[in-house]
Amino acid sequence: MSAKTIFIVVITVLVTVILMKNMDEVNFWIFGTRTVPKLAVMATMFFIGAVVGFLLGRPRRKVGIEEEEVNKPLNRADEDYIT
């Protein structure tokens, strides 16, 4: 197993244990005070954090060179330099 796999397993176990130990209800303000299970609040915040982390951590797309620039003819000075 790679280090990345072990890290993911450990984080998943820790998140599961923390969520299962926090099942009591709390007053939470969502455009008005509501009684919500702490499990739901924590799981939602973890999910939002995971999505944001994934979006920020993925590699950016590279912009390709347009075909016009590739097939653009060389001027006289460039041709003299190359030959």
Tell me whether residue 50 is in a domain: yes
Beta bridge partners of 34: 28
Tell me whether residue 71 is in a domain: yes
28: which residues sit within 8 A by CB, 6+ positions away? 34, 35, 36, 41
Low-confidence ranges of the chain (pLDDT < 70): 62-71
Tell me whether residue 9 is in a domain: no
How high is the pLDDT of residue 68? 55
Tell me whether residue 27 is in a domain: yes
Tell me whether residue 34 is in a domain: yes
Q: What is the count of structural domains for the chain?
A: 1
Q: Which domain holds residue 72?
A: 23-82
How high is the pLDDT of residue 66? 58
Instruction: In whole angstroms, give the CA distance from residue 69 to residue 44.
Output: 48
How high is the pLDDT of residue 73? 76
How high is the pLDDT of residue 65? 56
- 21, 1 contact by CB (below 8 A): no
What's the pTM?
A: 0.48
